Structure 1
Amino acid sequence: MKRAFSALPALLLVATLSGCATSWVVDSDVKSFSSIDTVPAGATYRFERLPSQQANGERQASLEAMAAAALEQVGLRRDDANPRYTAQISARVTTTLSPWADPWLWDGPFGYGYGYGYGPYGYGRRWYGGGWYGAPMIPQASNPWYEREVGVVLRELGSNRVVYETRARNDGPYTSSAAVLPVMFQAALQGFPKPPEGVRRVNIELPTAKKQQ
């Protein structure tokens, strides 16, 4: 669900995901750049970290595990001893005010959101009375809204040339980054190594149960 959509379609989608729904869709806007036509069978890589990522080793390792599953799906195998490429992984999660919030309704508590990876801390209004924190239902207008972005940069070892760069963005009311971020990495790598040009929408369906993890 994107802010560019009107409120009515967004509400209809939320309603579809409630009740007896058994699946839900993570919709990501993806933009990729590639300078390679093919990747050798069994191509290998190792992860590369920026200094800021090295300082948050446990968090970065979690992100890399998510990305590794997506990289494997497109034919890239992790091999720290004999890599052909390096892979730099990034992710950001920011909590903001829901686009459905009524600016005149200021009652209720506030809460902090957090940045995942090396994203900034966000400040957003929280609703503690159910909604997406409880049973699936149409979220309250004051519920927090999550803006997420993931990125993958592949460099060819030896030349240190960037051969692939891709980013995926998603926003919505879903609280579980542990479920959403792996799917966004899959979306970011869709079409590898020759993705379509320009921004494209990639929809991936997941079981509803994962939304509440």
Structure 2
Amino acid sequence: MKRAFFALLLVATLSGCATSWVVDSDVKSFSAIDTVPAGATYRFERLPSQQANGERQASLEAMAAAALEQVGLRRDDANPRYTAQISARVTTTLSPWADPWLWDGPFGYGYGYGPYGYGRRWYGGGWYGAPIVPQASNPWYEREVGVVLRELGSNRVVYETRARNDGPYTASAAVLPVMFQAALQGFPKPPEGVRRVNIELPTAKKQQ
């Protein structure tokens, strides 16, 4: 019943916004600068682990570059003023709207109760209370992006920002660039504390 209710709620919400959807990010930023010189330049800096996965990192840097350009920073590998370290992660978990009492038993889905509470129950095998098996049909995606700017010469961190988002859509290729935009909103003097930044995208990008 609970799963059906939230499924209907999600459909109703999306049907009310047929041509666009909002990527909501929780952003927290720290700044050590008040202004940025016009035409300030940067180059990307990679950690050893990022260098080992160059293709993925290059893709993330391309996403971040568009957001950096929007706040007035221009990439110039030959004559940079700053270095920019880019990070991102996407974690798949069980949807918070999934039924926590549904288990995957040897005879299909069902309910069980043993000495350790609700869980998996094997009627013919003599064991009870094994861990609940999450259903692959109810994924939930938790995303985080980060940008760290350092001033070349002093190697001082002058700006650090992170944005977090979660939801049921697989559209990381569409969501991550928007999250970089959200992370850099307010640069170079962002509001203090955690803030919610909403950016609208076309609905068609949800499945990219």
TM-score, normalisation: structure 2: 0.80
Q: Deviations over 1:99-143 (max 9, x none)?
A: 011122224999xx9999999999999999999999999999951
Structure 2 CA distance for partners of 1:106 and 1:115, relative to 1, 3 Å:
closer
- Structure 2 Cα separation of the partners of residues 89 and 135 of structure 1: 40
Identity %: 98
Q: CA deviation at 1:80?
A: 0.2
**Does the CA contact (< 8 Å) of 2:119 and 2:128 recur in 1?**
no
**Does the CA contact (< 8 Å) of 2:103 and 2:132 recur in 1?**
no
Q: CA deviation at 1:176?
A: 1.1
**Does the CA contact (< 8 Å) of 1:102 and 1:142 recur in 2?**
no
**Does the CA contact (< 8 Å) of 2:115 and 2:128 recur in 1?**
no
Q: CA deviation at 1:17?
A: 1.8
- Higher Cα Rg, which structure: 2
**Count of residues in Structure 1 that have an aligned counterpart in Structure 2:** 207
Which residue of 2 is the match for residue 119 of structure 1? Answer: 114
Q: CA deviation at 1:16?
A: 2.2
**Does the CA contact (< 8 Å) of 1:92 and 1:118 recur in 2?**
no
Structure 2 CA distance for partners of 1:207 and 1:41, relative to 1, 3 Å:
same
* Ranges of 4+ aligned residues in structure 1 off by more than 2 Å: 1-5, 10-16, 106-110, 113-142
- Structure 2 Cα separation of the partners of residues 105 and 117 of structure 1: 8
Bigger Cα displacement from structure 2, 101-110 vs 47-56: 101-110
Of residues 50, 53, 59, the one that matches 2:50 is 53
Q: CA RMSD, aligned part only? A: 10.2
Question: Aligned to 2:3, what secondary structure does the other structure show?
Answer: coil
Bigger Cα displacement from structure 2, 122-131 vs 173-182: 122-131
TM-score, normalisation: structure 1: 0.78
Q: Deviations over 1:4-28 (max 9, x none)?
A: 99xxxx9746532247610000000
Question: Aligned to 1:89, what secondary structure does the other structure show?
Answer: strand
Structure 2 CA distance for partners of 1:132 and 1:4, relative to 1, 3 Å:
farther
Structure 2 CA distance for partners of 1:202 and 1:116, relative to 1, 3 Å:
farther
Q: Deviations over 1:148-200 (max 9, x none)?
A: 00000000000000000000000110101000000000000000000000000
Structure 2 CA distance for partners of 1:60 and 1:99, relative to 1, 3 Å:
same
**Does the CA contact (< 8 Å) of 1:90 and 1:118 recur in 2?**
no
**Unaligned 5+ residue runs, structure 2?**
none
Question: Aligned to 2:113, what secondary structure does the other structure show?
Answer: coil
